[in-house]
Amino acid sequence: MLGKLSLSALPLDQPIPLIAGAAVVVVLLGVIGWIVFAGHLPYLWKEWITSVDHKRIGVMYVVLGLVMLIRGFSDVVLMRSQQAVAYKSPGFLPPEHYDQIFTAHGTIMIFFGAMPFIIGLMNFVVPLQLGVRDVAFPTLNSVSFWLTATGALLVNMSLVIGEFARTGWWPSPPLSEVTYSPGVGVDYYLWAIQIAGIGTLMSGINLTTTILKMRAPGMSYLRMPMFCWTALASNLLIVAAFPILTATLAMLTLDRYLGFHFFTDERGGNSMMFMNLFWAWGHPEVYILALPGYGVFSEVISTFSSKPLFAYRSMVAATMAILVLSFMVWLHHFFTMGPGGDVNGIFGVTSMIIAVPTGVKVFDWMFTMYGGRVRFTTPMLWSLGFVVTFVVGGATGVLLAVPPADFVLHNSLFLVAHFHNVMVSAVIFAGFAGYGYWFPKAFGFKLHEGWGKAAFWFSVTGFVAVFAPLYVVGLLGMTRRMQHYDVPEWRPWVLAASAGVIVMAIGVVCQIVQLVVSIRRREELRDVTGDPWDGRSLEWATASPPPAFNFAVLPEVHGEEAYWGVKQAARDQRRLREEPSYEAVEMPLNSATGVICAFFATLVGFAMIWHIWWMAGLGLLGAFATFVIFAWRDRVEYEIPAETVARFDRANRATRAEALASLRRRAA
Amino acid sequence: MSDTVSQDEGGDQRRHADTAPGDEFGQEDIGAGLRGYSIGLGLAALLTVASFVVLRTQLVWAPAIPLALIVFAIAQMGVHLVFFLHITTGPDNTNNVMALAFGVLIVVLVVGGSVWIMGNMNRNMMPMGPTAPMESGMPGH
């Protein structure tokens, strides 16, 4: 009846996961109970859970990403404290538990921390920057989000029910085959990633279509803001690369469930094929995450330097070059696993070449700042911190691209330090820069600067303090994923890295305090005009927070910096544009399709993990029925009357006229 | 999914400037459409029959038969793209052609790269049967 599921799946005999799991369950139930009893459920259901508004979905993606980043960080605290005490001793985490933690850390940080954070920013910002009212397929967008949330839920369920994979975040066969991993850990990994992966793929299709087909009148490709270009490249990569991951994991699933032999050791299976295919997705994935990050930095650096982006077209060319090159380097993840010198040589060279367009971008950012009036706000600090740390990470990357060097450094902590160095700075720093930069647009008030700067300095200091020692100890020969060690030379560096985690943790606390303080002081941090940073692209042309329809009248675009041109004209002529004639706006209706699909997807995933076949069938049937009901719906849109649109826009125009007048008074 | 999103005149203009594969062509009469599909069907059937004929008869030099089959297969794809998916070189098809080119590039890179890499590994790696001594340790990981 319940497949492999029984009471023994609960960690009743292991105190650490039991207490951690119980605490999470209690907190979760408490939050849900508070929502229900305080009467917030109808609001949440109508305004957020069933919303198909790209802004709301974007915010929910970012919230999911932030929560999961903290979850992934708690794994870091466990791993670093284990290594701090496990010198010539077993430490406090047994190996089978330690292995689950580093696997969960990688899986969560990539798939459920970084991906939702970046996709959330793209979801929120891209339609606003393009000057349109929503993404191409609003309900599909909601389905994508909730499927991603399903994946995150399944990974977290493994904390309490059963176990997670012990294979590392790429579940390499034959270790991940049923012979060597008979438990449900790898199955949790597979189904969580597959379900979230469907969501990601649909999100990629959605945003690609939006960018290619739905720009404001006059916005040709070469007038799109840089963030839209990087989002386009990133989503094209999602569309091209995620099917590889899905197919590869499907083959591993067939191996595990139906006794196939794609990647097994016997009967013609080839485990290196898994490596090859996984990294054919894995390296583009790096750029799926990093490219939108580059876009965020381009926007932030240009805005806070009060200058147009330097060499915009070279930045576009560099982005598209990275898009293609990212599919030509994947072998460098397994230089040491068997290819000959000719293959290694060519992939080494392509890996070095991809540093060229990235270098072009770094110079473009520096020249954007050069001669500008740079305002050192929190998002700008994150960008500057990125440029410095990213160049270090990039340089060690070029070093690792030399195959002979890689033979020395492969799977050492030097490699771990390298990819954290580039990924954290290009993705997490970008995330926080974008979070601070677009927060006032999303909620109508700015984040507190003092706490933001504190968070930045503690995070960056902690980040350097963690990974600089790991470079050294990697050169001293320490490999990754060690549960305990007994080399005295490593000890001080490992302790230094653990101390760095404490500093980073203070940064995390500062981030949370910043949010709480900003919400409490939101009246004094209020963004009245909708343009708090003296911005240059179209998202700043509407109110903060934007109305459901984004723009009262779709903006006409006449140049590279659509909003800057309008603003300069207003300043020169000392008045706003003529009031447009307002028309009623049609917007898509809310839909519960996404969350209901995700409910059934959770059933399917959980049932497949525990071999509860009837429940899997039920879930599939339910998901299909949901789709059919959605496909046969009668009403698609609702109308916002012209008076409402006009009232909203006039209110915003009044604040802008006031801002213009005060600017003139100050100048006089 | 068919959520329609409010589009202004600019959006409508762009819609004319960019047709999706399978879009109905309002201007064309049914006769022209039917003729196009019939030619396509005929060519597709011809290419299918031709590949069987080549295999069964002596028309082509035997060692060249695989090459001939590859040529027919690629021609078959071309027929499908032109007559059924309506890929043209016109300006209303730029996105479709770009998407096709990108897709072909990625498939060539990933499939070609995988064949090359795996073949090279097979030549390089010692067979590790149960009897072979593992003097150099496990590769990788």
Residue of A347, A317, A316, A138 lying closest to A229 (CA atoms): A316
Q: Which superfamily does CATH assign the domain made up of A1-269 to?
A: Cytochrome c oxidase-like, subunit I domain (1.20.210.10)
Q: For residue A661, what are the contacts with CB-CB under 8 A and spacing of at least 6? A: none
Taking the C-alpha atoms of residue A642 and residue A653, their distance in angstroms, rounded to an integer, is 16
Q: How confident is the model at residue A21 (pLDDT cuts 50, 70, 90)?
A: confident
Residue A638 falls in which region: left (phi positive, over 0), alpha (psi -120 to 50) or beta:
beta
Residue B6 falls in which region: left (phi positive, over 0), alpha (psi -120 to 50) or beta:
beta
Residues A288-526, CATH architecture = Up-down Bundle (1.20)
User: CB-hemisphere CA count at 13 Å for B20?
Assistant: 6
Based on the number of CB atoms within 10 Å of its own CB, is A34 exposed (0-12), middle (13-18) or buried (19 or more)?
exposed
Taking the C-alpha atoms of residue B71 and residue B51, their distance in angstroms, rounded to an integer, is 10
Contact A518, A446 (CB under 8 A): yes
The tens digit of pLDDT for each residue in A365-417 reads 999 999 999 999 999 999 999 999 999 999 999 999 999 999 999 999 999 99
A268 in contact with B, Cβ within 8 Å? no
Taking the C-alpha atoms of residue B34 and residue B47, their distance in angstroms, rounded to an integer, is 20
Taking the C-alpha atoms of residue A287 and residue A236, their distance in angstroms, rounded to an integer, is 11
DSSP string, A413-470: HHHHHHHHHHHIIIIIIHHHHHHHHHHHHHHSBPPPHHHHHHHHHHHHHHHHHHHHHH
Domain ranges of chain A: 1-269, 288-526
Record: contact A214-B123, CB cut-off 8 A? no
Nearest to B120 among A212, A343, A586 (CB): A343
B14 in contact with A, Cβ within 8 Å? yes
Span A122-147, average pLDDT: 93
The helix or strand, by DSSP H or E, that contains position B2, with its residue range, turns out to be none
A331 interaction partners in chain B (CB closer than 8 Å): 113, 117
Query: Has residue A55 got a pLDDT over 80?
Result: yes
Record: contact A240-B10, CB cut-off 8 A? no
Record: contact B6-A140, CB cut-off 8 A? no
Mean pLDDT score of chain A: 91
DSSP string, A27-65: HHHHHHHHHHHTT-HHHHIIIIIT---HHHHHHHHHHHH
Taking the C-alpha atoms of residue A289 and residue A133, their distance in angstroms, rounded to an integer, is 25
3-state secondary structure of A412: strand
Record: contact A276-B10, CB cut-off 8 A? no
Based on the number of CB atoms within 10 Å of its own CB, is B20 exposed (0-12), middle (13-18) or buried (19 or more)?
middle
Record: contact B121-A339, CB cut-off 8 A? yes
A586, β-bridge pairs: A639
Q: Which of B14, B97, B106 to mutate to test the interface with A (most CBs of A within 10 A)?
A: B106
Q: How many CB atoms lie within 10 A of CB A137?
A: 23
Contact A491, A87 (CB under 8 A): yes
Taking the C-alpha atoms of residue B36 and residue A351, their distance in angstroms, rounded to an integer, is 46
Whole-model pTM: value is 0.90
- Give pLDDT, residue B13: 43
Q: How many CB atoms lie within 10 A of CB A222?
A: 10
Residue of A563, A556, A587, A442 lying closest to A134 (CA atoms): A587
Contact A560, A222 (CB under 8 A): yes
- Give pLDDT, residue B140: 45
The tens digit of pLDDT for each residue in B39-60 reads 999 999 999 999 999 888 888 8
Residue of A385, A389, A384 lying closest to A365 (CA atoms): A384
Span A70-78, average pLDDT: 92
- What crossing angle do the helices spanning A491-520 and A449-475 adopt, rounded to 10°? 160
The tens digit of pLDDT for each residue in B55-97 reads 888 888 888 889 999 999 999 999 998 888 888 887 778 888 8
Q: How confident is the model at residue B139 (pLDDT cuts 50, 70, 90)?
A: very low
B103 interaction partners in chain A (CB closer than 8 Å): 240
Closest Cα of chain B to A539: distance in Å?
18
Say what the alpha-carbon torsion angle A548, A552, A558, A564 is, to the nearest 10 degrees.
-70
Record: contact B140-A275, CB cut-off 8 A? yes
A330 in contact with B, Cβ within 8 Å? yes
Contact A428, A400 (CB under 8 A): no
Within 627-656 of A, beta carbons closer than 8 Å to B belong to 630, 636-637
- Give pLDDT, residue A633: 87
A320 in contact with B, Cβ within 8 Å? no
Taking the C-alpha atoms of residue A336 and residue B120, their distance in angstroms, rounded to an integer, is 13
- Give pLDDT, residue B5: 40
- Give pLDDT, residue B27: 55
A638, β-bridge pairs: A587
Closest Cα of chain B to A192: distance in Å?
24
Q: What are phi and psi of A262, to 5 degrees?
A: -65, -45
Q: What are phi and psi of A308, to 5 degrees?
A: -60, 155
B11 in contact with A, Cβ within 8 Å? yes
B105 in contact with A, Cβ within 8 Å? yes
Closest Cα of chain B to A208: distance in Å?
11
Query: Has residue B3 got a pLDDT over 70?
Result: no
Query: Has residue A206 got a pLDDT over 50?
Result: yes
Q: How many CB atoms lie within 10 A of CB A591?
A: 19
Task: Say what the ipTM of the complex is.
Answer: 0.84
A637, β-bridge pairs: A588
Span A276-302, average pLDDT: 95
Q: How many CB atoms lie within 10 A of CB A240?
A: 23
Nearest to B114 among A133, A276, A342 (CB): A276
Per residue, what are the HEC states of A76-100?
Answer: HHHHHHHHHHCECCCCCCCHHHHHH
The tens digit of pLDDT for each residue in A429-484 reads 999 999 999 999 999 999 999 999 999 999 999 999 999 999 999 999 999 998 99
- Give pLDDT, residue A660: 86
Query: Has residue A644 got a pLDDT over 50?
Result: yes
B10 interaction partners in chain A (CB closer than 8 Å): 216-218, 554
Taking the C-alpha atoms of residue B140 and residue A160, their distance in angstroms, rounded to an integer, is 33
Span A48-61, average pLDDT: 94
Taking the C-alpha atoms of residue A160 and residue A19, their distance in angstroms, rounded to an integer, is 10
The tens digit of pLDDT for each residue in A315-357 reads 999 999 999 999 999 999 999 888 888 899 999 999 999 999 9
* Tokens describing residue A224: 């799109």
3-state secondary structure of A479: strand
- Give pLDDT, residue A2: 79
B16 in contact with A, Cβ within 8 Å? no
CA angle A477, A482, A483 (to 5 degrees): 150
Closest Cα of chain B to A330: distance in Å?
9
Q: What are phi and psi of A267, to 5 degrees?
A: 55, 45
A52 interaction partners in chain B (CB closer than 8 Å): 3
- Give pLDDT, residue B17: 58
The tens digit of pLDDT for each residue in A524-574 reads 988 888 889 999 999 998 988 999 999 988 888 888 888 888 888 888 887
C-alpha distances in Å from residue A214, one per residue of A151, A219, A224, A495, A564: 30, 10, 12, 53, 21
B3 interaction partners in chain A (CB closer than 8 Å): 52, 137-140, 588, 636
Percentage of chain B modeled with pLDDT above 90: 32
Domain ranges of chain B: 20-87, 91-141
- Give pLDDT, residue A634: 86
Record: contact A172-B106, CB cut-off 8 A? no
Record: contact A140-B1, CB cut-off 8 A? yes
Contact A582, A553 (CB under 8 A): yes
B104 in contact with A, Cβ within 8 Å? no
Tokens 């004094």 sit on residue: A524
- Give pLDDT, residue B8: 40
Tokens 């469930």 sit on residue: A257
The helix or strand, by DSSP H or E, that contains position B51, with its residue range, turns out to be helix B30-56
Taking the C-alpha atoms of residue B53 and residue B58, their distance in angstroms, rounded to an integer, is 9
- Give pLDDT, residue B7: 40
A136 interaction partners in chain B (CB closer than 8 Å): 5
Span A648-663, average pLDDT: 87
The tens digit of pLDDT for each residue in B110-135 reads 999 999 999 888 888 766 555 544 44
Count Cβ neighbours within 10 Å for each residue of A495-520 and write b for 16 or more, e otherwise. Answer: bbbbebbebbbbbbebbeebbebbee
CB pairs under 8 A between A and B: 92
Taking the C-alpha atoms of residue A561 and residue A129, their distance in angstroms, rounded to an integer, is 10
* Tokens describing residue A344: 């290694």
Taking the C-alpha atoms of residue A485 and residue A492, their distance in angstroms, rounded to an integer, is 13
Contact A110, A528 (CB under 8 A): no
Taking the C-alpha atoms of residue A363 and residue B10, their distance in angstroms, rounded to an integer, is 36
The tens digit of pLDDT for each residue in A230-282 reads 999 999 999 999 999 999 999 999 999 998 999 988 888 888 999 999 999 99
Tokens 């949330």 sit on residue: A149
Alpha helices in A613-641 (DSSP H): 613-631
Alpha helices in A330-402 (DSSP H): 341-353, 355-369, 378-400
